[in-house]
Amino acid sequence: MQQILSLFVSSALLMSSLFGARLPLPEASALSAEESVLQEADLSLQAPHAILMEASTGTILYEKDSHTSLHPASITKIMTLILIFDALANNSISLDDVVSVSEYAASMGGSQVFLEAGETQTVDTMIKCISIASANDACVAMAEYISGSEEAFVGAMNQRAAELGMQDTHFVNCCGLDTDGHMTSAYDVALMSRELTTRYPQIHDYSTIWMDTITHVTKRGSSEFGLTNTNKLIRQYEYATGLKTGSTNLAKYCLSATAVKDDIELIAVVMAAPDFKVRFQDAAALLNYGFAHCSLYTDANPPTLPELAVTGGTRDAVSLHSEGTFSYLDTAGRNLAEIQTTVQLPEFISAPVTKDQQVGQILYQYNGETLGEVPILCDEDIAKATYSDYLLKVVLKFL
């Protein structure tokens, strides 16, 4: 027993000398996923405000006076749809839920599907009405169903906008009817379009529908009502996947157009176009420009990560994982097959270790130029070992 205790004391002293020892990590780079690579190009756009963004990275490829606050018309509904899909994602509502239409919702003017007070429709049908026909009445009915009132729902819209960094935006209603103070910018529309399409890609199951029907069931009986997509690019542009149109007297003609080609998803926003044809022409010009100048690198098979040694802990090693998938949008014609990856990790870390603690990074470089990095995180918590833990280890070793 005396030999065991002597060995324990020696081991404890050795471990104590290692406490706090840590191999310094490389400094984190200040790269941003939304770093702009603004291109100077004359696209001869007629609309005074426009922006082109790649969805997965948030890279801005082109912009034209994109931060001016403007009346947004029905592209407001992009944020309304985000909140609807948020509610679906957290299971507070389901697609099969039945929504009753209030008198207030039924009274909405502008674009509508002529829902009547007391009429009921499923959440799924309401999303169709909003996405395809830009129905103001369906928007308000959903706002009331989710938040109790349109006012409360609009408060949530503004909170979500702030979280997304939409600094040019203030919402007053959920559908986009012209109202004092109801404003956003082309840049902010791109931000919320990106959030909707990347977080909830199922929106394209609705936004790509060209024609559909819903059934009104009212006191007068049952009747069919046809829906036709307000986004003509769905039929006119080969790669179109959505997203939302808008037009009012003050807003003029607006569009947030999404399209996918060769796994690249682009968002083209056009605001205050002089007529409906121009908004589609300008959006198509932006999309064509983007697809002609972009290549996307995605690391679908990141390096296998080893376990990392832990000193002074209740366990000797921790397993690791990378945070997300690295994507890089190239506009310079690089050979993306030549991108090199390097796993940067210390030799060990000292306990305590916390789950999701960053301990290194996967570095992505091209000809010595750093393109970006992905953090390497710990899989679990590991507590700092006590003398009792060391004694137990020694005893177990001899047993």
Domain boundaries, the chain: 2-30+300-398, 49-293
CA dihedral 146, 140, 153, 206 (to 10 degrees): 70
Return d(Cα 288, Cα 114) in angstroms, integer. 37
Which homologous superfamily is 2-30+300-398 in?
D-Ala-D-Ala carboxypeptidase, C-terminal domain (2.60.410.10)
Convert the pLDDT of each residue in 251-285 to its tens digit. Answer: 999 999 999 999 999 999 999 999 999 999 999 99
* Candidates 56, 111, 131, 134; catalytic one: 134
Give every CB contact of residue 6 below 8 A, 6+ residues apart in sequence.
Answer: none
Q: Note the Cα 300 to chain centre separation in Å.
A: 19
Catalytic annotation on 77?
A: yes
Q: Are strands 317-318 and 221-228 parallel, antiparallel or unpaired?
A: unpaired
At 184, the pLDDT band (50, 70, 90 cuts) reads very high
At 219, the pLDDT band (50, 70, 90 cuts) reads confident
Residue 281, pLDDT score = 97
Instruction: Output the average pLDDT for the chain.
Output: 88
What six digits make up the tokens of 99? Answer: 């929504």
Alpha-carbon torsion 122, 126, 132, 137, what sign? positive
* Candidates 56, 66, 74, 256; catalytic one: 74
Beta bridge pairs of residue 120: 100
Convert the pLDDT of each residue in 151-175 to its tens digit. Answer: 999 999 999 999 999 999 999 999 9
Residue 246 has pLDDT above 80, yes or no: yes
Distances (CA, A) of 51 to 65, 269, 335, 394: 8, 5, 27, 65
The CATH class, in words, for 49-293 is: alpha beta
At 94, the pLDDT band (50, 70, 90 cuts) reads very high
Return d(Cα 268, Cα 398) in angstroms, integer. 69
* Candidates 77, 128, 244, 252; catalytic one: 77
How is 305-332 classified by DSSP, letter by letter?
PPPEEEESBSSSEE-EEESS--EEEE-S
- Between 117-121, 228-232, 331-335, the lowest mean confidence (pLDDT) is in 331-335
Average pLDDT over residues 292-312: 93
Residue 91 has pLDDT above 90, yes or no: yes
Residue 383, pLDDT score = 93
Residue 32, pLDDT score = 35
Residue 237, pLDDT score = 97
Residue 9 has pLDDT above 80, yes or no: no
At 386, the pLDDT band (50, 70, 90 cuts) reads confident
Residue 333, pLDDT score = 87
Average pLDDT over residues 120-149: 98
Residue 218, pLDDT score = 87
Return d(Cα 257, Cα 243) in angstroms, integer. 5
Average pLDDT over residues 377-381: 96
Average pLDDT over residues 87-93: 97
Residue 391, pLDDT score = 67
| Beta carbons of 273 and 254 less than 8 angstroms apart | yes
Q: Which residue has the higher pLDDT, 303 or 397?
A: 303
Return d(Cα 132, Cα 116) in angstroms, integer. 19
What is the reported pTM? 0.81
- Between 5-19, 35-49, 212-226, the lowest mean confidence (pLDDT) is in 5-19
Residue 16 has pLDDT above 50, yes or no: no
Return d(Cα 208, Cα 234) in angstroms, integer. 6
Convert the pLDDT of each residue in 113-132 to its tens digit. Answer: 999 999 999 999 999 999 99
At 6, the pLDDT band (50, 70, 90 cuts) reads very low
At 1, the pLDDT band (50, 70, 90 cuts) reads very low
Residue 392, pLDDT score = 64
Residue 393, pLDDT score = 66
Beta strands in the chain (DSSP E): 49-54, 60-64, 98-100, 120-122, 211-218, 221-228, 240-248, 252-261, 264-273, 295-298, 308-311, 317-318, 320-322, 327-330, 340-344, 348-350, 358-366, 369-378
- Between 11-25, 211-225, 230-244, the lowest mean confidence (pLDDT) is in 11-25
